[in-house]
Chain A
Amino acid sequence: MAGAAEVPLAAEIAAGRRRRRAAFLRRLFGHGSFLIGFVIMALFVAIALAAPLIAPHSPIASDYRNLNAPPSALHWLGTDAFGRDVLSRIIYGMRVSLRIGIAVVLVTGLFGTVLGVLASYVRWLDGLVMRMLDGLMAFPGVLLAIALAAVLGPSEANAVLALSITFTPRTARVVRAGVLVVQGMPYVEAARAIGAGHGRIILRYILANALSPLIVQLTYVFAVSVVAEAILSFLGVGPPPPAPTLGNIIAEGRSSVQETWWLVTFPGMVIAVAVLGLNLMGDGLRDVLDPRQIARREGN
């Protein structure tokens, strides 16, 4: 192929891609659910990032003269059984939730993609990989995560690993399904015909097109991991104290819910709002990315 012909073609493709991206973003932010979810999560991320600036107290400094104090002007959301400021702990806890959520999304996305592509692309591996994933999926997720956390020991990194292993199978299935759909498409056949290598085909054509369901899936994985961190901490296998995680705050407050209601109520609400935001974003992404849905909306 002549180099001269390639240049304008590439520029055209790039321009087209930019246009499509702009249109996509317009559609996405025009979607009410996504916008609300996005605002919630943007706020969440901003608070988490600015934690050292906005937290009124240290999240781990104890004060034994001021244990379990109800909300007051000094401690807006009260103190916990260590005399620590609950508001500050929640703010820093959002940081940990965010960190865990993002890490789980990345690791799950990576494992899920690799396994999903392997299963769909390498035919003889399909049966083996899928049976393994089916086996993992047959475990109740919480039990698998608890067992993994017991094996690995409680720490933030291990919580991430345990949750990633738990969520990978479903993600891999989503990727595999997406790839299988794309694989039969004419343009992939065409790429193969012009002699493109496996790596190039997978990256450029197949993955790029299986990405939509993956992104939607990962948004939900994010939401589930925020709750799962709380569950692991609640059962004593999450990040160890004095780490200020939302789950730890609830876990520490649960022995005296009636006396120190602020310990259980507020972090629970933060979790619910975050999960709500992520679900809204996921819904928006799904509507915009899933062509079937678009077709329906346009048909109606």
Chain B
Amino acid sequence: MLRFLTRRLLSAIPVLFVVSLVAFGLMWLVPGDIAAEIGGTDATPEDLAAIRERLGLDKPVWERAVNWYGALLQGDLGYSYLLNRSVVDAVIERLPVTLSLAGLSLALATLTGMLLGILAAVRHNTLLDQGAMIVALIGLSVPEFWFGILMIIMFGVWLGWLPTGGFVPLSEDPVGWARSMVLPAFSLAVSQMGVIARMTRSAMLDVLGQDYIRTVRAKGLRARGVVFRHGLPNAMIPIVTVVGVITGVLLSGAVVIETVFSLPGVGRLIVGAIQRRDFPVVQGGLLVTAGIFVFVNLLVDVLYAAFDPRVRDGRGG
């Protein structure tokens, strides 16, 4: 197990290297820079040159790359041009928002998705099955940002039950936190709920169709017992894998949902930084989000290995 872990950890390094390379390369290629944002509409070319010099943007790209990677190896992601804080601080400040959002959506999507999927599998080829799958499919097809806007109008404005946006830290006010998270988490979860429901259903059908389950059933065990004691644990492997993929999708979707619901999360940080050319924040922020994604998938792999020893010993990819 330890060897497996080290191997997986080591394999994350080239991935993160590629991420850093792409992030840096994109910011090198992007037209425009922050000088115009700081200088404003009336800045003369000389003003802009002065700003660039102050920020080191006048240096050749290789020198900027050397500086960035040099700092990166010491764990320093640099300093934001605009936010008056280090990139690490800026990201850490916002992680609770994005993690709350992605985590809650993941929980919501997994719970409701698995429930729907199990129901559909157990009542295979009934109206309930079809109904559940139609719900899953519609959920899967609805654009989440559009759904989020509709949610705001319905629950925020018409009914007035929930806040229309903004974030309340968990440590400050747990109830306020929950209220501020319900709509965004739900909007984000809807499509992934569909994915998990379909995955669960097909995994459960696979398992329930197998001989040993038939045997157990034949022995006269009650249906619920069969499903939860024997079916579900065996269906977990594909479900766990899908959860790993979904984390990436949720981190991606969070970007848009954060904008729609005015949540100060990492996604919005990076989008804003791209739009304003705050290079260190874009590069550092992308590296951290990619890091989270890689870490979650590592975790999934470990879980996977725990469920299935063959994975540990055999292939690594």
Interface residues of A, Cβ cutoff 8 Å to B:
130-132, 134-144, 146-148, 150-151, 153, 223, 227, 230-231, 234-236, 250, 254, 257-258, 261, 264-265, 268, 271-273, 275-276, 279-280, 296, 299-300
Q: Which residues of B contact A141 (CB under 8 A)?
A: 248-249, 252
| Interchain CB contact under 8 A, A143 and B255 | yes
CB-CB under 8 A for A231 and B137, given A135-B15, A146-B274: no
Contacting residue for A150 out of B18, B23, B157, B274, CB 8 A: B274
Say if the beta carbon of B182 comes within 8 Å of chain A. Answer: no
| Interchain CB contact under 8 A, A135 and B256 | no
| Interchain CB contact under 8 A, A139 and B19 | yes
| Interchain CB contact under 8 A, B251 and A268 | no
| Interchain CB contact under 8 A, A279 and B137 | yes
Contacting residue for A131 out of B15, B157, B248, B271, CB 8 A: B15
Give chain B interface residues in 116-139, CB to chain A under 8 Å. 137-138
Q: Which residues of B contact A144 (CB under 8 A)?
A: 22
A25 nearest CB across to chain B (Å): 23
| Interchain CB contact under 8 A, B137 and A136 | no
Q: How many interface residues does chain B have, given as a range?
A: 35 or more
Say if the beta carbon of B26 comes within 8 Å of chain A. Answer: yes
Q: Which of B137, B145, B147 has the most CB of A within 10 A?
A: B145
Q: Which residues of A contact B14 (CB under 8 A)?
A: 131, 134-135
The stretch from B46-54, B83-91, B169-177, B288-296 touching chain A is B288-296
Contacting residue for B290 out of A138, A271, A275, A300, CB 8 A: A138
Contacting residue for A230 out of B141, B143, B291, CB 8 A: B143
Q: Which residues of A contact B248 (CB under 8 A)?
A: 137-138, 140-141
Interface of A is mostly: helix
| Interchain CB contact under 8 A, B18 and A142 | no
Residue in B closest to A223 when the chains form the complex, CB atoms: B141
| Interchain CB contact under 8 A, A138 and B274 | no
Q: Which residues of A contact B249 (CB under 8 A)?
A: 141
Q: Which residues of A contact B17 (CB under 8 A)?
A: 135
Q: Which residues of B contact A140 (CB under 8 A)?
A: 248, 251-252, 254-255, 267, 289, 293
Indicate with 1 or 0, residue by residue over B6-41, a CB within 8 angstroms of chain A CB atoms: 000000001111110111001001110000000000
A287 nearest CB across to chain B (Å): 10
Q: Which residues of B contact A134 (CB under 8 A)?
A: 14-15, 18
Say if the beta carbon of B56 comes within 8 Å of chain A. Answer: no
Please, how many angstroms separate the alpha-carbon atoms of A143 and B19 in the complex?
A: 12
CB-CB under 8 A for A138 and B15, given A230-B146, A264-B146, A264-B149: yes
- 16 A-B residue pairs with Cβ-Cβ distance under 8 Å, sorted by A, are A131-B15, A135-B15, A137-B248, A139-B286, A140-B252, A142-B252, A143-B267, A146-B274, A147-B282, A230-B145, A234-B256, A264-B150, A273-B141, A275-B141, A280-B137, A300-B209
6 additional A-B pairs beyond A135-B14, A138-B16, A268-B146, beta carbons within 8 Å, are A131-B14, A134-B14, A141-B252, A143-B255, A264-B149, A272-B146
| Interchain CB contact under 8 A, A268 and B29 | no
B47 nearest CB across to chain A (Å): 23
Closest 9 pairs between A and B when the two form their complex, measured CB to CB: A135-B18, A140-B252, A268-B146, A138-B290, A276-B141, A275-B141, A131-B14, A141-B252, A142-B252
Please, how many angstroms separate the alpha-carbon atoms of A136 and B25 in the complex?
A: 13
Residue in A closest to B294 when the chains form the complex, CB atoms: A138
Say if the beta carbon of B142 comes within 8 Å of chain A. Answer: yes
Please, how many angstroms separate the alpha-carbon atoms of A264 and B148 in the complex?
A: 11
CB-CB under 8 A for A138 and B19, given A143-B271, A150-B30: yes
Indicate with 1 or 0, residue by residue over B251-273, a CB within 8 angstroms of chain A CB atoms: 11111100100000001001100
CB-CB under 8 A for A296 and B146, given A134-B18, A136-B22, A138-B19: no
Q: Which residues of A contact B21 (CB under 8 A)?
A: 135
| Interchain CB contact under 8 A, A147 and B26 | yes
Say if the beta carbon of B153 comes within 8 Å of chain A. Answer: yes
Say if the beta carbon of B140 comes within 8 Å of chain A. Answer: yes
Say if the beta carbon of B58 comes within 8 Å of chain A. Answer: no
Q: Which residues of B contact A234 (CB under 8 A)?
A: 145, 256
Please, how many angstroms separate the alpha-carbon atoms of A250 and B267 in the complex?
A: 21
| Interchain CB contact under 8 A, A235 and B256 | yes
A96 nearest CB across to chain B (Å): 16
| Interchain CB contact under 8 A, B256 and A142 | yes
Please, how many angstroms separate the alpha-carbon atoms of A136 and B294 in the complex?
A: 11
Q: Which of B18, B141, B147, B289 has the most CB of A within 10 A?
A: B141
A170 nearest CB across to chain B (Å): 9
Q: Which residues of B contact A136 (CB under 8 A)?
A: 18, 22
Say if the beta carbon of B313 comes within 8 Å of chain A. Answer: no
| Interchain CB contact under 8 A, B26 and A151 | yes
| Interchain CB contact under 8 A, A272 and B271 | no
| Interchain CB contact under 8 A, A148 and B26 | yes
Q: Which residues of B contact A148 (CB under 8 A)?
A: 26
CB-CB under 8 A for A235 and B271, given A142-B255, A150-B30, A268-B146: yes
Indicate with 1 or 0, residue by residue over B176-209, a CB within 8 angstroms of chain A CB atoms: 0000000000000000000000000000011001
| Interchain CB contact under 8 A, B138 and A231 | no
Q: Which residues of B contact A258 (CB under 8 A)?
A: 153, 157
